[in-house]
A = this chain, B = another copy of it.
Amino acid sequence: MNVQDRIQAKRVAVDHELKRLLREDDSPLFEAMRYAVLSGGKRFRPVLLLCSGECFGVSLEMLLPFSCGLELIHNYSLIHDDLPSMDNDDYRRGKPSCHKAFGEGLALLAGDGLISLAFEVLAGAPVAPALYPEKQEVIREISRAAGSRGMVAGQLLDITLPPQELTEERIHDLILKKTGSLIVSAVKSGAILGKAAPSEIQAIEEYGKNVGLAFQVRDDLMDAVQQTASASPPRPNYVFVVGREEALKRLQEFVADAIQALEKASLRSEELRELAHGLLRLEKGD
């Protein structure tokens, strides 16, 4: 298989496991949870976790629950993010957003259900006793990344920072929290489970930060086109801060820095390289 096929195979494995985790219940709550999770999505974060873990010699089977836990957290955040009191988005992945399809109360609870399920899956991940400390460290790492100094803090900045007050420094901080936290925790989790050396963990973190920045700048580049054409209120967007030309340049720099971080630590993963490199193609995905 070439690198694209190997990445695609991982996406399929994640999708399959997510379906399995969400299937055994026909309550409206699970219906809403399935609607949100199984409606597309590129599975970028869980695939990053799988590739990072593999790069450090961990089996796909052992990594899968961790990668799915992470993806469930990402999806809970999308549901809550779309709510009227947040971004008030009517659409997600080309379909009505969860609260548009199920009502606000049920959508809120579907998000709450997903984050609880995420930690149930993480805590239930079967690992050999020798890996218990690493497993705990990973759960801690992911909860920290998802929480009020990570992703949740970024979401707050996203809804409260007045766009006109944005500087490049501030939007960096926002992106690293809102988008970067989970992406860094994805690659770090794989490394921790693979008992990577501190220098390797540092390198993979550097990779993750740059991938997070590239991911969001690419997203902002595509959003900027839509936003200019729509009447919706402006949201913090990299392009509006530095301009389109500069944003494109930054995107290339972040991708190059991500790949360089791998090389400097001699981390040979064609897939991690490709996942960073692929961000240069401007196509939508979460």
Residues of B within 8 A of A86 (CB): 105, 108
Question: A54 within 8 Å of B by Cβ?
Answer: no
Residues of B within 8 A of A160 (CB): 28, 105
The A interface is mostly helix, strand or loop, or mixed, namely helix
Residues of B within 8 A of A104 (CB): 85
Question: A89 within 8 Å of B by Cβ?
Answer: no
Taking a contact as CB atoms under 8 Å apart, the answer to whether A148 and B106 are in contact is no
CB contact list, A109-161 vs B, under 8 A: 109-117, 119-120, 122-124, 129, 132-133, 135-136, 139-140, 143-144, 146-150, 152-153, 155-156, 159-160
With A28-B156, A29-B156, A80-B112 in contact, do A105 and B85 touch (Cβ < 8 Å)?
Answer: yes
Taking a contact as CB atoms under 8 Å apart, the answer to whether B116 and A29 are in contact is no
Taking a contact as CB atoms under 8 Å apart, the answer to whether A119 and B139 are in contact is yes
Taking a contact as CB atoms under 8 Å apart, the answer to whether B152 and A109 are in contact is yes
CB proximity of A113 to chain B, nearest CB, Å: 3
With A149-B25, A152-B112 in contact, do A132 and B136 touch (Cβ < 8 Å)?
Answer: yes
Taking a contact as CB atoms under 8 Å apart, the answer to whether A108 and B80 are in contact is yes
Question: A35 within 8 Å of B by Cβ?
Answer: no
Question: A240 within 8 Å of B by Cβ?
Answer: no
Taking a contact as CB atoms under 8 Å apart, the answer to whether B155 and A109 are in contact is yes
Question: A33 within 8 Å of B by Cβ?
Answer: yes
Contact size class for A? Answer: 35 or more
Give the distance in Å from the alpha carbon of A146 to the alpha carbon of B76 in the complex. Answer: 15
Residues of B within 8 A of A109 (CB): 80, 148, 152, 155-156
CB proximity of A270 to chain B, nearest CB, Å: 32
Question: A44 within 8 Å of B by Cβ?
Answer: no
Question: A27 within 8 Å of B by Cβ?
Answer: yes
Taking a contact as CB atoms under 8 Å apart, the answer to whether A120 and B140 are in contact is yes
With A33-B148, A85-B105 in contact, do A140 and B124 touch (Cβ < 8 Å)?
Answer: yes
CB contact list, A3-62 vs B, under 8 A: 25, 27-30, 33
Taking a contact as CB atoms under 8 Å apart, the answer to whether A112 and B113 are in contact is no
Q: Which of B113, B140, B159 contacts A147 (CB 8 A)?
A: B113
Question: A63 within 8 Å of B by Cβ?
Answer: no
Known: A113-B148, A132-B136. 4 other contacts (CB 8 A): A83-B85, A108-B108, A116-B148, A136-B136
Which 9 pairs show the lowest CB-CB distances between chains A and B?
A: A116-B147, A113-B148, A85-B104, A123-B139, A132-B132, A120-B143, A123-B140, A119-B143, A85-B105
